[in-house]
Structure 1
């Protein structure tokens, strides 16, 4: 996707100036002319903005407390609805960012629905045949021309293959990619101009939100991504789902392209249909509880999980399995992120506020380091009402919202994948509550955390972590002496000498001197540790039992050197 870079000439950055004029006109007509004037209007020559009937400020003042978020939300929603699918999808993304926006604004964004124009099947047929390279009559016996699902990006049809298999044909809307790319490039341009002109708008992190939006769009515009995700999730279930609680539809790879995807048709009752699903709950209670356990493990243990967990994507199949569809949005957490996430959950369950804050600082995005003590105090104050409650008594969905709100107040923002995993857990908890299921999601998490932490201390895992750490350390140790030599040589080439005159800073200079000495001890310790790993490599040791005695000896010397450094620093 072509992202607009700030500082590029408008004629290069915005290919469709006519669309830009249309967009800023809609925003201005809905009362955002003041923002449009912030460095944007000057980029469009000979263009006069229309005026809104009433300003946002005047209307917000009439409402009083909370009026600003409400009015901005209402007017922005109207803009998005008028401007089409790209903006509607962006509004839907904003509706999930409770960490940034007020509840009144979020409520308005949640009202956004995909309002799309109908597309004739003749036009769709032509697009499908162009994508597949053959006539659809050579693939399908029949295609129901009435869509079973429509969205801003894709349209789904029920179809039958030549061998009689019932499938779903999902097609990307004709020309939607070009429309989305044009609108997205304009959104990037507008955000960059607004952030330059207003510190308050920059505080909202529009560029950060749009970056996440771009990732989502890229995945939804390419159905091959969904096919790969589906296959990967199916392989994950083979590993985790021994009871075969879940069922993933088969993907027909030979008919899947960037613009089309063909998958098995699932016959069942969607979980969103509470009336039809309710009579079956006593039978599938155990399956659902086991299913939630699998989702927890997919997040905590594997780091790959379904990120769009609403009732419409779950189906109760005829054999009482739970079918899952829509793999366009998946969450990913690497090993280091999973370790951080486990630490955060454990700190939450044990109400260790300091560790909770430090773990969030490790993973959050921020423009400047916040006041740590103030942040810890705010987190403690926010979470104190929950201290003493059991896991069963604690509403963790509410707890997550409070934490996210507190982080936002200190201008800390969770990366996309982190926010997705928190929302996935909240949604899972909400699905269970909406169906009145008797299970404790976060109680399950508490029991799993301890087992996963024990697995993380397995000697083979520790050995692998140590080897990867050594790979990071060795290049630094190799180049550091060389660069230090170059620095000293350059510094002394004109016979300069380093002289420090103590004029009232004796204590500070002594602290710096002690720190440098301790750093030298640490450097020597690192050399001994690296030497020990070299012995491990030479012996080709795979387990602790195979580690040579010489390696243990070298590591012991390294630990003694480090302890000596600590003693020196304290004395």
Structure 2
């Protein structure tokens, strides 16, 4: 679809001038008239500044006691996004997960966003369905309901029955949705670029990068083949850990599925969003939900792949007493090193090790300059002070996470999007259980699992895999070294083989470079010796901590590794 590759400057959006004018009008109408009148959008041909409704909005907010800056801004933006359609609604839902940037009142407003879309009869999309299928609908289906059973900004869902007798659903793209989203994304990116010129505070938030990441995510959601693959991949992963077969994922009919059409099994069950009916089953469901969270954590921490849109409407309790999942357009993934960071973060929280907690967050966060680590540790400790000494049952995962993120934001430290997907999934799970009045606590579950998960993620095979990656990196560097040296000598020859040396004290830059290269070589050799020794140790011995059974050869190799590093450090001092 090329959402980003086109390059979004004002000259690129002239062909969409009507839509740009419509967007500017909506924003001005809902209280952003001053911003619009002073910016480049006011120069759009034919644009007339409408009467602002900001005073009316402010009055409504004050009645609701939500008159904070974040509440007012969020309320205005919510009205704008709902009026402007799918891309803006999806963008607002993305903003609702960025608690590192916005305050709680703003987040609350974004979470209230709803798709204001009208249902379309199947007759309006029948031609596009038949084009995707390559067949007449009547050739494959006994019937398809004319009225959709589900509507959203991107797709429509219709119940149907195959000629072979299976009950299925058809998820169909709205006509013209790709073109509309592409247009709106280009305009959003243009507006983000313009906003970055307002000052360093806005630029630091990286709105252009946020829009580009959002475009990639939305592009995946627009491809139903990707959603089908996500479902099948998640199904295989869950089967490895779901010994009691608590979960059920719908069958995908790949022979009928394409980029524009998804055909999958109809789930017959009670959605968790239907609290009245779910509460009737709460006694038999509570234990299953707790076990399902254990499975979710195991699949996430061992495989790094998970369902990232776990709200009540995507959970069903079936007649077979299983927990079924639907809607696999939004999934999350985290590398093994990222999962180890996550484990360390949770363990640091459970043990109140604030220094470790801060360093683990800094390891994955995005920031400019050098943060004041001591001040950050102190602020984190202060923000979490009310929870020190409480049992896990008395501690709320969502509140704790928001306290941490608020403190990081004050230090201009942001978490990457993939980390917010992880924590949002955790908070949503926590919220689903609490909303049903269940004795459900995510911290309690994490405390029970974390020690076993740490052992699993730091076992012998993991160390060996790390050693292999280190070896690959060293090999890759050795292959690149001749090219870099050739380039170095080529550039050096242009300067008649002369160095420009800047003195710092009595040591030249060349001496520093030589010392660094020498020490790097020492460390590489020491690493090989260390991992060679580690490979000789049985993982059971490592996990038990009974080091008397470690082979003597391993100790010799470790001693040689340690001696080499000490020798290298001594040479550098």
CA distance in 2, matches of 1:145, 1:458: 55
Residue aligning to 1:138 = 139
CA contact (8 A) 1:364 1:413 kept: yes
Aligned match of 1:50: 49
1:158 is paired with a residue whose SS is strand
2:11 and 2:513 map into 1 onto residues whose CA distance is 55
Spell out the pairing of 1:14-93 with structure 2 (5 A cutoff).
15-37=15-37, 39-41=39-41, 44=44, 46-53=45-52, 66-93=67-94
Equivalences for residues 121-520 of structure 1 within 5 A: 121-480=122-481, 483=484, 487=488, 494=496, 496=498, 505=505, 517=515, 520=518
Mapped partners of 1:66, 1:568: distance in 2: 63
How big is each residue's C-alpha offset from its partner over 1:395-442, in whole Å with a ceiling of 9 and x where there is no partner?
A: 221100111111122222222221011111111111111222224322
Q: Indicate the SS of the match to 1:197.
A: coil
CA shift in 2, pair 1:564/1:56, >3 Å: farther
Task: Between 266-275 and 451-460, report the one with greater CA deviation.
Answer: 451-460
Evaluate the alpha carbon distance shift between residue 49 and residue 205 of structure 1 in structure 2; reply closer, same or farther with a 3 A threshold. Answer: farther
Deviation at 1:121, TM superposition (A): 2.1
TM-fit CA distance, 1:322: 1.1
| C-alpha distance in 2 between matches for 1:481 and 1:18 | 56
Q: Does the Cα contact within 8 Å between 2:309 and 2:331 map onto a contact in 1?
A: yes
Distance between the aligned counterparts of 1:333 and 1:435, measured in 2?
Answer: 29
State the alpha-carbon separation in 2 of the partners of residues 77 and 479 from structure 1: 51
**Deviation larger for 25-34 or 330-339:** 25-34
- Distance change >3 Å, CA 6–CA 153, structure 1 → 2: closer
Choose 257-266 or 24-33, whichever is displaced more: 24-33
Kindly state the Cα deviation for residue 258 of structure 1 after the two structures are TM-superposed.
Answer: 1.0
Structure 2: how far apart are the matches of 1:490 and 1:206?
Answer: 38
State the SS of the aligned residue for 1:392: helix
Equivalent pair of 1:331/1:421 in contact (CA under 8 Å): yes
Cα distance in structure 1, aligned partners of 2:227 and 2:490: 56
Contact 1:241 1:294 in 2 (8 A): yes
Structure 1 stretch displaced more, 238-247 or 518-527 = 518-527
Match of 2:567 in 1: 564
For the 8 Å contact 2:27–2:33, the answer to whether it is kept is yes
Name 1:2's counterpart in structure 2. Answer: 2
Greater Cα shift, 32-41 or 107-116: 32-41
Structure 1 stretch displaced more, 185-194 or 32-41: 32-41
Q: Secondary structure at the match of 1:152?
A: coil
Structure 1: stretches of 5+ with no match in the other structure:
none
CA distance in 1, matches of 2:56, 2:6: 30
Q: Give 1:520 shift.
A: 2.4
Counterpart CA distance in 2 for 1:6 and 1:253 is: 32
Does the 8 A contact of 1:5 with 1:189 survive in 2? no
- Quickly say closer, same or farther: Cα 1:188–1:495, change in 2 above 3 A: closer
With 480-489 and 68-77 compared, the bigger mean Cα shift is at 480-489
Deviation at 1:19, TM superposition (A): 1.0
Change (3 A) 1:498 1:304: closer
The 1-side partners of 2:460 and 2:309 are apart by 36
Q: Does 1:11 align with 2:11?
A: yes
**Is the alpha carbon distance of 1:96 and 1:8 closer, same or farther for their aligned partners in structure 2, counting shifts above 3 Å?**
closer
Report SS of the residue matched to 1:169: strand
- The CA deviation string for residues 157-215 of structure 1, in whole angstroms up to 9 with x for no partner, is 11111122111111111111111111111111111112123434334432233233223
Measured against aligned partners, the alpha-carbon deviations of 1:304-331 in whole angstroms (never above 9, x if no partner) come to 1111111111111112111111111111
CA shift for structure 1 position 156: 0.8
- Please give the secondary structure, in 2, of the residue aligned with 1:119: coil
| Structure 2 CA distance for partners of 1:523 and 1:57, relative to 1, 3 Å | farther
Q: Number of residue pairs matched?
A: 558
Q: How far 1:385 moved relative to its partner?
A: 2.1
CA distance, structure 1, for counterparts of residue 484 and residue 227 of structure 2: 47
Aligned-residue CA RMSD (Å): 3.4
Contact kept in structure 1, 2:371 and 2:411, CA below 8 Å: yes
Q: How has the CA–CA distance of structure 1 residues 170 and 550 changed in structure 2, closer, same or farther, with 3 Å as cutoff?
A: same
Report Cα offsets for 1:16-55 as digits up to 9, x if no partner.
12111111122123332333355523763x4444154366
1:523 aligns with 2:526: no
Question: Is the partner of 1:305 in helix, strand or coil?
Answer: strand
Residue 443 to residue 497, structure 1, CA distance change in 2 (3 Å) = same
Asked if 2 retains the 8 angstrom alpha-carbon contact of 1:342 and 1:449, the reply is yes
> Structure 2: how far apart are the matches of 1:180 and 1:311?
27
- Report the CA distance shift for 1:558/1:144 in structure 2 as closer, same or farther (over 3 A): same
Work out whether residues 429 and 441 of structure 1, in 8 Å CA contact, stay in contact via their aligned partners in 2. yes
8 A Cα contact 1:331 1:417, kept in partner: yes
User: CA contact under 8 A between 1:66 and 1:104: conserved in structure 2?
Assistant: no
Give the SS at the match of 2:430. helix
Provide the rounded CA distance (Å) in 2 between the counterparts of 1:440 and 1:269: 23
Q: CA deviation at 1:371?
A: 2.5
Over 3 Å counting, the alpha-carbon distance change for 1:113 and 1:58 in structure 2 is closer
The answer to whether the 8 A contact 1:158-1:168 is kept is: yes
User: Secondary structure of the residue that 2:170 maps to in structure 1?
Assistant: strand
1:332 Cα deviation (Å)?
0.5
